[in-house]
Amino acid sequence: MGQRIIGLTGGIATGKSTVADYLARRHRLPVLDADIYARQAVEPGSVVLGAIADRYGAALVRGDGTLDRARLGDIVFNQPAEKTWLEQQIHPVVRQCFEAAMAKLAEAPVVVQVIPLLFEANLTDQVIETWVVACPLERQRQRLMDRNHLSPAQADARIQSQMPLAEKVARADVVIDNSADLPALFRRVEEALQHPLQG
């Protein structure tokens, strides 16, 4: 059997990071995170950050040269066309980062790629199996409000800006149910890990 590449995704605040951390800690699996690569894409002095400043104004770049993520988030979450433009700048950089990292992990039997926009960005071609972490909408909304200090309206806007979770679940090879407690979540992860898809 060839290398097992797991594409881990879900909705915002459904528990992707919890599952990724567990796989890294408990099973010592290499975990590659698209969000980290996306942050690297907009580091001070990067081409993408320059393009963002050109499009939305220099006010989006703080005095220390870093991106004002909150201000950018307010723009793109409310304007789908702007969200699409931003993703078109960042996704090629993210894909290159994945390719470079995977080249160094050629001998690893299992690699986990955490990709929030796995389906939206059409990155499914770079993984072997897709795992979606899912939880009920109310729980997702509450976790997002607590974690990001958002109002209900802000949380709803962020959830609605994504592909519906039900659609991700329908496309997934494996659904990791995060509607109960952590031990139940980790049991589901163990089951999925023990049953690789036959490619």
* Domain CATH for 130: 3.40.50.300
Same domain, 121 and 195: yes
pLDDT at 198 over 70: no
Whether 36 is covered by a domain: the verdict is: no
Same domain, 117 and 138: yes
Same domain, 90 and 116: no
Same domain, 88 and 121: no
Q: Report pTM.
A: 0.90
Q: What is the pLDDT of residue 2?
A: 85
Query: What number is the average pLDDT over the span 28-47?
Result: 96
- Dist CA 50 CA 65 (whole Å): 10
Same domain, 186 and 131: yes
Query: What number is the average pLDDT over the span 75-85?
Result: 88
User: In which domain, by residue range, is 142 found?
Assistant: 1-30+105-199
Same domain, 115 and 199: yes
Query: What number is the average pLDDT over the span 162-183?
Result: 95
Sorting pLDDT into bands at 50, 70 and 90, what band is 158? confident
Helix, strand, coil % in the chain, rounded to nearest 5? 55, 15, 30
Quickly list DSSP for 10-33.
Answer: ESTTSSHHHHHHHHHHHH---EEE
Q: What is the pLDDT of residue 76?
A: 86
- What residues are paired with 5 via a beta bridge? 111
Whether 35 is covered by a domain: the verdict is: no
Q: In degrees, to the nearest 5, what angle opens at C-alpha 151 toward C-alphas 148 and 156? A: 90
3-class SS of residue 174: strand
Encode pLDDT of 106-139 as tens digits.
999 999 999 999 998 889 999 999 999 999 999 9
Number of separate domains in the chain: 2
Q: For all residues of the chain together, what is the average pLDDT?
A: 94
